[in-house]
Chains A and B, each alone.
Chain A
Amino acid sequence: MPEIKVTPLGAGQDVGRSCILVSIAGKNVMLDCGMHMGYNDDRRFPDFSYITQNGRLTDFLDCVIISHFHLDHCGALPYFSEMVGYDGPIYMTHPTKAICPILLEDYRKITVDKKGETNFFTSQMIKDCMKKVVAVHLHQTVQVDEELEIKAYYAGHVLGAAMFQIKVGCESVVYTGDYNMTPDRHLGAAWIDKCRPDLLITESTYATTIRDSKRCRERDFLKKVHETVERGGKVLIPVFALGRAQELCILLETFWERMNLKAPIYFSTGLTEKANHYYKLFITWTNQKIRKTFVQRNMFEFKHIKAFDRAFADNPGPMVVFATPGMLHAGQSLQIFRKWAGNEKNMVIMPGYCVQGTVGHKILSGQRKLEMEGRQILEVKMQVEYMSFSAHADAKGIMQLIRQAEPRNVLLVHGEAKKMEFLKQKIEQEFHVSCFMPANGETTTILTNPCIPVDISLGLLKRETAIGPLPDAKKPKLMHGTLLMKDNSFRQVSPEQALKELGLAEHQLRFTCRVHIQDPRKEHETGLRVYNHLKGILKDYSVQHLPDGSITVESILIQATAHSEDQGTKVLLVSWTYQDEELGSYLTSLLKKGLPQST
């Protein structure tokens, strides 16, 4: 039985360090190659020695697929390809390919320059690694080699995020990466066709959550910003450079446009600006509204949002500032925060999750007096708001995707074990498909039942379909022919052709059978009786009485002779070829029952 083997090296019952090995029909594919945010030691990268202890990985992997540019999905890529050694193709979408190196470089800078780590990949390695990348378009089928093909589907989540279908022959696996089933302000919803894969590997970050409509969140956010600005206050929004920042920018930009507001909006320079540039380029990857209106105006060419300068923070009057980093632990956002914290008219909005120990976490948990470096006490008078904008599918979204794709098996990754347990149970219950959730390093084997395509010659097909009732493609149909396995391919041909091709002579196989009948009459009279009898029963067949006294039914020959010893017993000799086995055996059984008493 053919099987698909899946082994997560990372993201098995865990979030971070996504890296999943799939072997399908003799092909080995690695899905994502990420780092773990929680560790600073060896555990931050997947354990590639699992694949091979020594030697290059190229011999063991057919290709690597990166779903999107988040570091927990691509962070280990230069390490993997340059330091461990992999020269095969790496597939990612165009936006991912564009943005990925920026983030990797940023990551490298923080680790090497700030933390002073050695033995880390260099800028040159990032560049070399990116040279191995093959960019793919949405819905483009890429042939990795003769048998292995991959295809990308839109996944929402971040710009360029994709789900990948990996297909070898009739077996296929779909890997979702991270995806979002509800559209947001700049990206659309994930979509997949009814591809019915053997296995669907899906993320399950929000396996136990059903979220409220995003409209309420957006409205709250806008209302808060608007009110503060109207009061003359300043709004600080600490963000990470990519993803949510763009969504919030669009949200505010359109709101400003709609409401005709004049207060300036700034975002901090650097990474965000570069990223915005790519957002501008990859308009086709965004949502309907942006795609439709970009002819008039590219939504990412912000009219109201300008680049931030350090000096602006002291300007009087209302303003909104997006600043990095998102957790208020260092950098520009913290500087601005310290300047504005004292005024109760101002407001800070935290759009995402904050790690414990950061300033962001402290103020969110209600701390009003912060101790800064230099034993300074900073009193926070400004308002602190929390808004969650997350771009993962919730439990309903995951179920919806499973319903769309109709997989035969589901495998959960990228989530916590306890939450997966719940979702697993739900999936099995609702869809009646088996569901797996392997831990890191644990191999799951899935048996598949692939169909094997066989070529058939047109002549044979036409001949076979002409026999019997009309073809009904919904039902399987039995066909007679010879299956020829030659040169690694299957063909169904007519027996004659098979003989010819194989250079074999045809053998005739004939069955003969004697049936004894009690009949005192003459031989030819018995023959006549048998003829009449058969004629009466087999109306659809051509039954003939030949001049020499024998009877043919189609190609079956029946002869009546008198028994050498007992003249009252007649022996009926029935002879048929192998091909007519069915009819022949039917006839004998019929004759064995005896002839009807003639009147």
Chain B
Amino acid sequence: MAAHLKKRVYEEFTKVVQQQHEDLSTKKLRLTKPSKSAALHVDLCKATSPADALQYLLQFARKPVEVESVEGVVRILLEHYYKESDASVRLKIASLLGLLSKTAGFSPDCIMDDAINTLQNEKSHQVLAQLLDTLLVIGTKLPENLSVRMRLVEVACKHLTDSSHGVRNKCLQLIGCLGPVEKGVAKEAESQAAKDVQKIIGDHFNDQDPRVRTAAIKAMLQLHERGLKLQQAIYSQACKLLADDYEQVRSAAVQLIWVLSQLYPESIVPIPSSNEEIRLVDDAFGKICHMVSDGSWVVRVQAAKLLGSMQQVSSHFLEQTLDKKLMSDLRRKRTAHERAKELYSSGEFSSGRKWGDDAPKEEIDTGAVNLIESGACGAFVHGLEDEMYEVRIAAVEALCMLAQSSPSFAEKCLDFLVDMFNDEIEEVRLQSIHTMRKISNNITLREDQLDTVLAVLEDSSRDIREALHELLCCTNVSTKEGIHLALVELLKNLTKYPTDRESIWKCLKFLGSRHPTLVLPLVPELLSTHPFFDTPEPDMDDPAYIAVLVLIFNAAKSCPTMPALFSDHTFRHYAYLRDSLSHLVPPLRLPGRKLVSSAVSPSITPHEDPSQQFLHQSLERVYNFQHLDPRGIQELLEFTIRDLQRLGELQSELAGMADFSATYLQCQLLLIKALQEKLWNVAAPLYLKQNALASAAAKQILEETYKMEFMYSGVESRQVVIIHHMRLQAKALQLIVTARTTRGVEPLFGMCEKFLQEVDSFQRYFISELPHMQGSFVDKLLDLMPRLVTSKPSEVVKILQTTLRQSTFLHLPLPEQIHRATANIIEPTGESDNPLRFTSGLVVALDVDATLEHVQDPQGTVKVQVLYPDGQAQLIHPKPADFRNPGPERHRLITQVYLSHTAWTEPCQIEVRLLLAYNSNRSKASTRVPKSTWSESLEALPPSENGIEGTIPFSKPVKVYIMPKPARR
């Protein structure tokens, strides 16, 4: 806010003064930049002490260096390197060498020999390590050059015997990143050292320094990532490392074991101290499970995470992870879970009142009890009870992944997941609810479990409740009591938190449609009907009653006998709800109620087809009759657009498609209209005012194309081409209009050039799509390109005008799934009459709660705009953490917007809306252009010339009443 206010101040004080260009100078001065290398050389020579030299180098490092001068700079640096006696300066030089070789577009093979040479006489270990790092950078910049890589690996192998851990670390890293991966290559390369990188790295698993051991394991993992198949022999080595004293080593070793278990799941390993053998993946699973009770939580998190992805493990191993034999005074005891299950199966309600009903029963043989199992026993039991919530979350995630792949395991882990609903940390609770939702197809909740689940409905956190509603949407409940319980708890929830209304209704909708047979016996009770007496008609506006009806109607959809139980007013209410809450109440076939059944379209399934057909037909019509006379086309377009828009309103599934095509047709319509203006036929100067329509049209088309490109999800490259094509046409139109209306040619030069550039970049981006665009504007334009480049602006304009008129209308193919991004601000509601009062100059926080649908990457694109009555607009970027993702393609923005203003005399309304920011650079088209991998390391990337940033409003504005009061003195 402060920054924003400051900006305002600056805006008031800065005035833009436009200078008239005196561009008549015919002579051009060409300035050559002073050579960087020379300057550096001078600086370094001037340096009297190492500290001085270091300062110069530090200053130098802050500025980017152009590609052309890199080599020169490197030479200078190397020269100084040899002269320098101070290790810290040499270190800086070495690091600079690395930085410089990262420069995009610079090929470092020319400096490689020098860099290797510097290693020879270096005594300082730190400098040596830095130099190796530089070599690593060089090596990664030249991934193709095999001999270079081999040489570097050889150099690294030579320095592996260094006494400093830092140097050995870097060597291993280098070998890991550059070591030969392909089998055949290793043979070709004659060098002794590079023959078996795995062995070299493996030898350092036993290094004395833990950091080097870690580096060795990491290097091994790096090799694996680069595609080298690790040898199975490493497995036993890695297992030993699991008992290392240092946590980094153990953590890396766990990863290595996991990698090996994925590579050789089926091979057989012996169990030490017995003759048995088991599958490697099982053995690894057991070992990683063991690490879940490691002393370091970093390792525990790592281990718990990896467990989730070991899906090949045999089921009895898997089930052991949930096993924990309880005992009390050497007698076997049943776990609470087992007791609950037993109570459930015996049909008895849990009394829980007896003291000692958990009393231990049978005696255990002391010899048979294994207190520390080497296997997977109880790994998840431990993980879920861990002290650190990071471990617990990781364990829950792992549980989720394993349960998704194994239904029997899902059934078993249910009890534990339900327990996690009571964790002390909200994140863990939320995570376990989500997990449960994900595995819900595999499970059916028992009544006692449901009870625990439902208890969470009273949670004060909205996220938890909503996650739970989502979970209930897709759970299977086993008994009618369960349904009743769920309904009762949901209604309780509703009275406690009325804002959850929508979410609860939705939840009941699914609950009803999933369990029609269980709902059926409950209907009389729920509707409180009586066989003899008429009961009073419930209040139609009561959200609780609506909730009950939603449940019943959705169950009735697949249970035709149910409507017989309804009373008269229920039918009336049905008709009302079907209209008012059509997304929650399904169409029902109700016998004897003609009124109702006629209101609903007769059948459900073929329902979609006609409208889809209609959509396609109307689009067909437009594309086919494009050779009609202009007036006809215009009318046809207008009608079709109207039809499509109406269709979009009626049919939510087709809304995206209909809107998308309607927008496209709208653009075309505007284009046609603009081209039919009279102004084209008349001499330019006379019609200065008349062009308003044409230029407005051009502007609007541009806007619409941005909307089409960025507001719809599921847009494919085929559509993007056509959108860009339309935009190109609009730009051409703009150019023509400007040419027509402005006097003089000077401004046109720039515009023409820019336009031609755009045509050019269009061609570059969409070269593959051009064959599909026969007869289009751009097709014709490209044919004329040689002529255009050489001709004068006025000619260009003429050519453009004719091509624009002659070009055909491109058929817009519809993608499979296309959805328009929508946003709905739930809060603030805009209904409040009470102004939000605050002292002027201070800030007030306004809670904004909105649902976003079909928005890709909302964190990057969605902004909140606040519009003050004085026309001042403020743009707020919500934090990434403010976005929740409750379901696919759906997001929820819960954020706070800070408002501030100077004092007003009376309350006034501000507007809050959501905007979708876009940047044409980030468009789907440009992602195809290969980006240089090092580009992010260099801050000075010039923004490309056609990067247009803008925003599209995509929610209805909400008005908030505010009143900044003057501060009291």
* A residues adjacent to B (C-beta < 8 A): 182-183, 185, 188-189, 191-194, 208-220, 222-224, 226, 254, 257-260, 287-289, 364-366, 383-386, 395-396, 399-400, 403-404, 419, 422, 425-426, 430, 470, 472-474
Residue of B nearest to A189 (CB): B387
CB distance from B421 to the nearest CB of A (A): 9
Whether A260 lies near B496 (C-beta < 8 A) is: yes
B161 within 8 A of A: yes
Shortest CB-to-CB span from A205 to chain B, Å, is: 12
Report yes or no: B419 in contact with A399, Cβ–Cβ below 8 A: no
Interface bits B270-293 vs A (CB < 8 Å: 1, else 0)? 000000000000000000000001
A191 CA / B355 CA spacing, docked (Å)? 34
**Chain B residues within an 8 Å CB radius of A366:** 355
Check A383 against B419 for contact (C-beta < 8 Å).
Answer: no
Q: Given A210-B324, A222-B422, A289-B389, verify A470-B355 contact (CB < 8 Å).
A: no
Residues of B within 8 A of A474 (CB): 206, 208
Contact across chains for B208 and A260 when beta carbons are under 8 A apart: no
Q: How far is the CA of A197 from the CA of B381 in the complex (A)?
A: 29
**B460 contacts A220, C-beta separation under 8 Å:** no
Task: Report how many A-B pairs have Cβ atoms within 8 Å.
Answer: 114
In contact, A384 and B371 (Cβ under 8 angstroms): no
In the complex, the answer to whether B353 meets A385 with C-beta atoms within 8 Å is yes
Binds A, one of B110-118, B136-144, B330-338, B799-807: B330-338
Which residues from chain A contact B324 at a C-beta distance below 8 Å? Answer: 210, 212-213
Nearest residue in A to B340 (C-beta to C-beta)? A216
Instruction: List the 3 shortest-distance A-B pairs measured between CB atoms, nearest first.
Output: A473-B208, A216-B336, A183-B387
Verify A260–B460 contact, CB threshold 8 A: yes
A212-B335, A419-B329, A474-B208 known; A220-B422 Cβ under 8 A: no
8 contacts between A and B (CB under 8 A): A191-B295, A215-B419, A215-B422, A220-B352, A259-B459, A364-B355, A396-B371, A426-B369
- Say how far A20's CB is from chain B's closest CB, in angstroms: 24
Q: How many residues of B contact A (CB 8 A)?
A: 46
B923 at the interface (CB under 8 A from A): no
Which residue of chain A has the shortest Cβ distance to B337 in the bound complex?
Answer: A216
Contact with A along B410-452 (1 / 0, CB 8 A): 0000001001101111000000000000000000000000001
Taking a contact as CB atoms closer than 8 A, the residue among A183, A188, A224, A385 that contacts B385 in the complex is: A183
User: What's the nearest-Cβ distance from chain B to residue A130, in Å?
Assistant: 31
Q: Flag whether B767 is at the interface (Cβ < 8 A).
A: no
- Cβ-defined partner of B371 (8 Å) among A189, A211, A426: A426
| Least CB distance, A351 to chain B, in whole angstroms | 13
Out of A192, A259, A288, name the residue touching B387 (CB < 8 Å). A288
Known: A222-B422, A258-B460. 8 other contacts (CB 8 A): A209-B328, A210-B371, A211-B326, A213-B324, A217-B336, A219-B422, A386-B356, A422-B366
CB B487 to nearest CB in A, in angstroms, measures 18
- Is the C-beta of B87 less than 8 angstroms from some C-beta in chain A? no
Flag if A193 contacts B295 (CB, 8 Å).
Answer: yes
Cα–Cα, bound, A542→B652 (Å): 96
| Contact (Cβ within 8 A) B208 A183 | no
Write the nearest CB–CB distance from A305 to chain B, whole angstroms: 17
Nearest opposing residue in chain A for B460, CB measure: A260
User: In angstroms, how far is the closest chain B Cβ from the Cβ of A302?
Assistant: 15
- With a cutoff of 8 Å between Cβ atoms, the chain A residues found around residue B330 in the complex are 208, 419, 422
Cα-based distance from A388 to B422 in the complex (angstroms): 18
Kindly identify which residue among A219, A220, A385, A404 contacts B295, using a CB–CB cutoff of 8 Å.
A404
* CB within 8 Å for A384 and B422 given contacts A209-B329, A219-B452: no
Chain B proximity of A259: nearest CB distance (Å):
4
Is B638 among interface residues, defined by CB-CB distance under 8 A? no
Known A-B contacts A218-B422, A395-B371, A470-B161; the reply to A288 vs B389 at CB < 8 A is yes
Q: Contact string, B305-331, partner A, CB cutoff 8 A, digits 1/0?
A: 000000000000000000011111110
- B512 CB to closest chain A CB (Å) equals 27
Residue in chain A with minimal CB distance to B327? A210
Q: Determine the chain B residues whose CB is within 8 A of the CB of A220 once the complex forms.
A: 336, 352
Q: How far, in Å, is B949 (CB) from chain A's closest CB?
A: 37
Residue in B closest to A256 when the chains form the complex, CB atoms? B460
* Chain B 354-392: CB-based contact to A (< 8 A → 1; otherwise 0): 011000000000100101100000000100111111000
Contacts of B389 in A (CB 8 A): 288-289
Which residues on the B side are within 8 Å of A185 (C-beta)? 424
Is B461 an interface residue when CB atoms closer than 8 A count as contact? yes
Given the known A-B contacts A260-B496, A366-B355, A474-B208, are A212 and B326 also in contact in the complex, defined by CB atoms under 8 Å? yes
Interface: B758 (CB within 8 A)? no
Assuming the A-B contacts A189-B387, A210-B325, are A289 and B372 also in contact, with contact meaning beta carbons closer than 8 angstroms in the complex?
no
Check B459 against A258 for contact (C-beta < 8 Å).
Answer: yes
Chain A residues within an 8 Å CB radius of B422: 215, 218-219, 222
Q: How far is the CB of A418 from chain B (nearest CB, A)?
A: 9
| Contact present for A210 and B326 (CB under 8 Å) | yes
B629 within 8 A of A: no
Closest to A403 in B: B372
B109 on interface, CB distance cutoff 8 Å: no
Q: Which residues of B contact A422 (CB under 8 A)?
A: 330, 366
Is B419's CB under 8 angstroms from A259's CB?
no
Q: Are B329 and A289 in contact (CB under 8 A)?
A: no
| Contact A430 B386, CB 8 Å, known A209-B328, A216-B337, A474-B208 | no
How far apart sit A212 and B336, CA to CA, in the bound complex (Å)? 7
Say whether, besides A222-B422, A473-B208, A474-B206, A214 and B353 are in contact (CB < 8 Å): no
Residues of A within 8 Å of B459, CB to CB, are 258-259
Q: Which residues of B contact A473 (CB under 8 A)?
A: 208
How long is the Cα–Cα vector from A366 to B353 in the complex, in angstroms?
10
Interface centre among B326, B327, B372, B425 (most CB of A within 10 A): B372
Q: Is B458 an interface residue (CB 8 A)?
A: yes
State how many angstroms separate the Cβ of B384 from the closest Cβ of chain A. 7
Measured between beta carbons, the chain B residues less than 8 angstroms from A182 are: 385
Tell yes or no: B245 within 8 A of A by CB: yes
Taking the complex as formed, is B600 at the interface, i.e. its CB lies under 8 A from any CB of chain A? no
B455 interface hit (Cβ, 8 Å): yes
Instruction: Closest B residue to A472 by CB, please name it.
Output: B208
Kindly name the residue among B245, B335, B416, B422 whose own CB sees the greatest number of chain A CB atoms within 10 A.
Answer: B422
